[in-house]
Amino acid sequence: MRIVTWNINSVRLRIELVAKMAKKLKPDIICLQETKCPNDSFPTKSINKMGYEHVAINGIKGYHGVATLSKIPFTKTNIIDYCGQKDGRHIETILDYGGAPLSLHNFYVPAGGDEPDRKINEKFGHKLDFLNEMKRRLTKSKQKTSVQRILVGDLNIAPYEHDVWSHKQLLKVVSHTPQEVELLEQVRKSHNWVDVARAFVPFEEKLYSWWSYRSKDWDASNRGRRLDHIWVTPALEPQLKSYKIMREARGWERPSDHVPVVLDLV
């Protein structure tokens, strides 16, 4: 099984890029974030033409939004609201994998604004509240190690030193502050998740999935961050086959500032 997660930054604007990626990578499942599209305007017909007959969406007009596209039927879909916002940031789909249920969580964690201080920045406070609610919900989940669960998405935090272009310079920048990093680690530990990227790529190796639009030459400057993640429960760790960040997609015409992240399971 091949799963791709991608913050597409408007699915209708970049539907051709979704098709291009799908043709190149041929994933079984595509998880999109920041679709910026209400459910009744989602380009389902275009998605179906790519071979994805099963579509689960949780979107709102102009902002946020997540969508899971699959060649494999869903047995159940759950839309879960966080912080009472109803802002389209999480969808769970359940499907069969190896004769057993697999729960796939597609997340778009709030970015958090510019100032890492909830007293002056409401968006940062919302981000912290969202992560705390994630932690509480996952802590309550049963059979943490024995069930098949995958969590993917734009978590908007680069947790480790080499997940950013400069650890020292970004310590006070939202997405890499110690407060966010510690909270994301609590979320990860709450369910014993395996960070797939670092299961394949050594911690001392630089690894990015996002490059700012503000950079005149993103490729040359390479000031990236690893904001997009794939986690699996320990039950799926033996099935991990390969992991890849599709860096080339950042250089496509009218690209998202994020690129696809790919997981292969045996």
Q: Categorize the per-residue pLDDT at 198 as very low, low, confident or very high, splitting at 50, 70 and 90.
A: very high
Query: What confidence score (pLDDT) does residue 140 get?
Result: 86
Task: Tell me the pLDDT of the chain averaged across its residues.
Answer: 96
CB atoms within 10 A of CB 220: 8
Between the alpha carbon of residue 180 and those of residues 106, 183, 222, 225, the distances in Å are 19, 5, 23, 14
Q: In this model, does residue 93 exceed pLDDT 90?
A: yes
Query: What confidence score (pLDDT) does residue 144 get?
Result: 66
In the chain the beta strands, taken as DSSP E runs, fall at 2-7, 29-33, 54-58, 66-70, 76-79, 90-97, 100-108, 148-154, 194-195, 210-211, 224-225, 228-232, 240-245, 261-265
In the chain, the percentage of residues whose pLDDT exceeds 90 is 94
Tell me the pLDDT tens digit for each residue of 162-190. 999 999 999 999 999 999 999 999 999 99
For residue 19, give the amino acid letter: A
For the chain, the structural domain boundaries read 2-265
Whole-number Å distance between alpha carbons of 236 and 241: 10
Least confident of 24-38, 133-147, 189-203: 133-147
Query: What confidence score (pLDDT) does residue 141 get?
Result: 80
Q: Categorize the per-residue pLDDT at 101 as very low, low, confident or very high, splitting at 50, 70 and 90.
A: very high
Q: In this model, does residue 10 exceed pLDDT 80?
A: yes
Q: In this model, does residue 25 exceed pLDDT 80?
A: yes
Q: Which residues contact 101 (CB under 8 A, 6 or more apart)?
A: 75, 94, 95, 147, 148
Tell me the pLDDT tens digit for each residue of 208-232. 999 999 988 999 999 999 999 999 9
Contact by Cβ (8 Å): 77, 55: no
- The yes or no reply on domain 2-265 and CATH 3.60.10.10 is yes
Q: Using CA atoms of 181, 151, 54, 22 in order, give the dihedral in degrees to the nearest 10.
A: 70
pTM of the model: 0.97
Q: In this model, does residue 145 exceed pLDDT 80?
A: no
Residue written as tokens 């890849």? Answer: 244
